[in-house]
Chain A
Amino acid sequence: MIIPISYYLILSGILFTIGVVGVLTRRNAIVIFMSIELMLNAVNLTLIAFSKQFNSLDGHVFVFFVMVVAAAEVAVGLALIVAIFRTKESIFVDDFNLLKW
């Protein structure tokens, strides 16, 4: 049985949307991070799906790139969160508006 590509894409879309909503609505920086990971993985899923569809390895290569970048980002991001937590005693994004006009 061959699952049509649209299924993958729909799933990926759903995952991505969940991630977006998470990023936009949650207050906890850690949760936001996790939502971002979700979005990245939704993209990964799409890439893999197309890769299989077109019988090309390019998608796989990109996925690795994405995973590497995501890992790096998590490392830096978590470090930032820790640093912020040390000064602000909070990881709620509402409390950080240093860029405010």
Chain B
Amino acid sequence: MFENIWLVPLFPFLGFLLNGLFGSKFSEKQAGIVGSGAVILSFLAAGAISYQLLSLPEASRAVTQTVYTWIETGAFRVDLSFTVDALSAIMLLVVSGVGTLIHIYSIGYMHGDRGFARYFAFLNLFTFSMLILVLADNFLLMFLGWEGVGLCSYLLIGFWYEDKDNAFAGRKAFVVNRVGDFGFLLGICLIFATFGTLDFDSVFASASDVLPPETATIICLLLFVGAIGKSAQIPLYVWLPDAMAGPTPVSALIHAATMVTAGVYMVARCHVLFLLSPMAMNVVAVIGLFTAFLAATIALVSTDIKKVLAYSTISQLGYMFLACGVGAFGAGIFHLYTHAFFKSLLFMSAGSVMHALQNETDMTKMGGLKSKLPVTYRVFLVGALALSGVPLFSGFFSKDAILWKSVVSPLGGFGYWVIATGIAGLTAFYTFRLIFLIFFGRSRVQKEVEKHIHESPVIMTAPLGILALFSLAGGYVGMPHFWDKFDHFLQPVFSKYIENNLFERSEQLFGLEFGFMATSTLVVLLGIGCAYMLYVVRPELPAELSQQFAGLHRFLFRKWYVDELYDATVVRPLAVVSDKVLWRWVDVKIIDGFVNKVAEWAGRLGATLRLMETGLVQNYALMVVVGAVALVGYFLLR
């Protein structure tokens, strides 16, 4: 199977071609089958490859396949080559597995949409790009996937392009991502300038020998700029909440489970470089932590169901970066893996709610839906418990792995743990705020909408059920001390090129770990309790509180005024400078003005000189005589 790695991305690409070229002639059923079938095939291929990978001895679990040479000039050579190791195998399975479920769910969700085939074409193209990103064996090919997923994100956010806001959100996502890509691109250049190659294997193998620490820091920071853009961290996170304008399954697949985690994957992939630069590690951790905090605070007050989930995603991504920043790459990937399940579950059940309420996303217009949408309620609850990190759900294991590692790592500290645990409390609070506002209390649904409330069809609820199962049980592969399969599986990847002994000490501290775990669990339960108090027991309290702390509430509700800040400092000045200064002044007035002035002067000179042409022959003759006399005089007097 290893010589057929290329099949994995090929299937979705074929699906894209089929749906893209002939989609207009397909029926919904055909388009759906082509789209989902392509991803299922890809999932099967990925499964087969991963299974085969397991049969190899641990140390040699990395297989590379070169398809052809992509770009080669002089010493610069980049192949189109794929590599599968434990890390990419996990990513492959997550992408194609969750992707499959979301494709199937979409058949129900997008039913009746004019652009049904187009939707599936884009979704397949996304899956293709994401698989390329994950499989890439060098930085440039990774960048290809990286940009490809960005493009699909753009296309799908603006899928309902007739609404101006959607189109704007898509553009914003693309441009902000491009800012990140700018850093990534320069990082790639610097890597080539330093190592003379872009292949992962060669770069990482020689990194600890040839890379000076300052260069390592610069490379890592540049790469991290790319990760910041893609994974929506401060200061480039602003696109993700707006990206919720796209269809909900898209939010689930791209903006929760897969694409936004690409930054985490990239940092984990480049762990060798990051470990060489403690400073870059600290930057990663601090940015991750701060983002997690900021996004969680905004999620507390947002009333849009998808926006809350979006900020929650940003916040969870912050956790993953915190994990990477303290050197616990395995924990970061573990959280990525569990998060993919429960967050896409949450998004899609939110989609199911919206489906029932005719695309209403405002939570103030919901409530009391528990009995009307029983299946949705149950899976939503599972997702919420997992996201909050309630014990025995998948999110619990991954979150606690991060919390624990952040305190024991030499790169981490107790401060990190305190803040991160506090954020866990906030997370639990806003997650259950969602639950209570949507499913409990009395109904605030508008009358004419209420008549049509219905549970979603099986094609939508079945994927939800599967995801709920994974959200429930997916975490047991990473139970610390008892059944630590996940970390164990990833271990060869993270210790292949560089010794990572940050956590040697922590293995023995079982009791302490349990203590920390209990504390964070208490905090989580406290968060849930607060939400219960505020939104079920005394539903009038939140309004009073927001009145009392009006300033703070508005500050959070307006999302810390970051969008306004960017608009005032970057977007608008740039437009004005380009228009008024560069174009109308420099270009038109100065440069072109100069050109036209020269022409005008030439014209004026001509206009003056032509007055000599009187038309009278005698004047001309006089000039001839004068000229002749002058010439003769010159030669005589010389």
Determine the distance from Cα of A24 to Cα of B616 in the docked complex, in whole angstroms: 10
Residues of A within 8 A of B617 (CB): 93, 96
- B622 interface hit (Cβ, 8 Å): yes
Determine the distance from Cα of A1 to Cα of B516 in the docked complex, in whole angstroms: 144
Determine the distance from Cα of A96 to Cα of B616 in the docked complex, in whole angstroms: 7
Residues of B within 8 A of A93 (CB): 616-618
A-B interface pairs (CB < 8 A), number = 31
Residues of A within 8 A of B622 (CB): 24
Determine the distance from Cα of A47 to Cα of B621 in the docked complex, in whole angstroms: 23
CB contacts under 8 Å to A, within B595-617, are: 610-611, 613-617
Q: Is the CB of A101 within 8 A of B618?
A: no
Determine the distance from Cα of A32 to Cα of B622 in the docked complex, in whole angstroms: 13
Q: Is the CB of A94 within 8 A of B621?
A: no
Q: Is the CB of B621 within 8 A of A101?
A: no
- B449 interface hit (Cβ, 8 Å): no
Residues of B within 8 A of A96 (CB): 615-617
Determine the distance from Cα of A89 to Cα of B31 in the docked complex, in whole angstroms: 92
Q: Is the CB of B621 within 8 A of A99?
A: no
Q: Is the CB of A100 within 8 A of B625?
A: no
Q: Is the CB of A101 within 8 A of B613?
A: yes
Residues of A within 8 A of B615 (CB): 96-101
Residues of B within 8 A of A100 (CB): 613-616
Determine the distance from Cα of A94 to Cα of B621 in the docked complex, in whole angstroms: 13
- A15 interface hit (Cβ, 8 Å): no
Residues of A within 8 A of B614 (CB): 97, 100-101
| Secondary structure dominating the interface of B | helix
- A20 interface hit (Cβ, 8 Å): yes
Residues of B within 8 A of A25 (CB): 618
Residues of B within 8 A of A45 (CB): none
Q: Is the CB of B613 within 8 A of A23?
A: no
Q: Is the CB of B625 within 8 A of A24?
A: yes
Q: Is the CB of A20 within 8 A of B625?
A: yes
Residues of B within 8 A of A94 (CB): 616
Residues of B within 8 A of A32 (CB): 618
CB contacts under 8 Å to A, within B570-616, are: 610-611, 613-616
Number of A residues, CB within 8 Å of B = 13
Determine the distance from Cα of A96 to Cα of B614 in the docked complex, in whole angstroms: 10
Determine the distance from Cα of A72 to Cα of B580 in the docked complex, in whole angstroms: 70
Determine the distance from Cα of A101 to Cα of B613 in the docked complex, in whole angstroms: 6
Q: Which residue of A lies closest to B618 (CB)?
A: A24
Give A64-101 as 1s and 0s: 1 = Cβ < 8 Å from B's Cβ atoms: 00000000000000000000000000000110111111
Q: Is the CB of B618 within 8 A of A23?
A: yes
Residues of A within 8 A of B611 (CB): 101
Residues of B within 8 A of A97 (CB): 614-616
Give A8-46 as 1s and 0s: 1 = Cβ < 8 Å from B's Cβ atoms: 000000000000100111000000100000000000000
Determine the distance from Cα of A20 to Cα of B617 in the docked complex, in whole angstroms: 13
Interchain nearest-CB distance for B610 vs A (Å): 4
Interchain nearest-CB distance for A96 vs B (Å): 7
Among A23, A93, A100, A101, the most chain B Cβ lie within 10 Å of the Cβ of A101
Q: Which residue of B lies closest to A17 (CB)?
A: B625
Determine the distance from Cα of A32 to Cα of B625 in the docked complex, in whole angstroms: 15
Interchain nearest-CB distance for A101 vs B (Å): 4
Interchain nearest-CB distance for B220 vs A (Å): 74
Interchain nearest-CB distance for B628 vs A (Å): 9
Residues of B within 8 A of A20 (CB): 625
Within 8 Å by CB of B610, from A23, A24, A101, lies A101
Determine the distance from Cα of A20 to Cα of B629 in the docked complex, in whole angstroms: 12
Residues of B within 8 A of A23 (CB): 618, 621
Interchain nearest-CB distance for B629 vs A (Å): 10
Residues of B within 8 A of A98 (CB): 615
Determine the distance from Cα of A32 to Cα of B616 in the docked complex, in whole angstroms: 13
Interchain nearest-CB distance for A17 vs B (Å): 10
Determine the distance from Cα of A83 to Cα of B615 in the docked complex, in whole angstroms: 18
Determine the distance from Cα of A99 to Cα of B614 in the docked complex, in whole angstroms: 7
Among B613, B617, B625, the most chain A Cβ lie within 10 Å of the Cβ of B617
Determine the distance from Cα of A24 to Cα of B610 in the docked complex, in whole angstroms: 21
Determine the distance from Cα of A98 to Cα of B625 in the docked complex, in whole angstroms: 22
Residues of A within 8 A of B616 (CB): 93-94, 96-97, 100
Determine the distance from Cα of A98 to Cα of B613 in the docked complex, in whole angstroms: 11
Q: Which 5 residue pairs spanning A and B have beta carbons closest together?
A: A100-B615, A97-B615, A101-B610, A99-B615, A101-B613
Given contacts A24-B618, A99-B615, 11 further A-B contacts (CB under 8 A): A24-B621, A25-B618, A32-B618, A94-B616, A97-B616, A99-B613, A100-B613, A100-B614, A101-B611, A101-B613, A101-B614
Can you list 24 A-B contacts (CB < 8 A)? A23-B618, A23-B621, A24-B625, A25-B618, A32-B618, A93-B616, A93-B617, A93-B618, A94-B616, A96-B615, A96-B616, A97-B614, A97-B615, A97-B616, A98-B615, A99-B613, A99-B615, A100-B613, A100-B614, A100-B616, A101-B610, A101-B611, A101-B613, A101-B614
- List residues of chain A with CB under 8 Å of any chain B CB: 20, 23-25, 32, 93-94, 96-101
- List residues of chain B with CB under 8 Å of any chain A CB: 610-611, 613-618, 621-622, 625
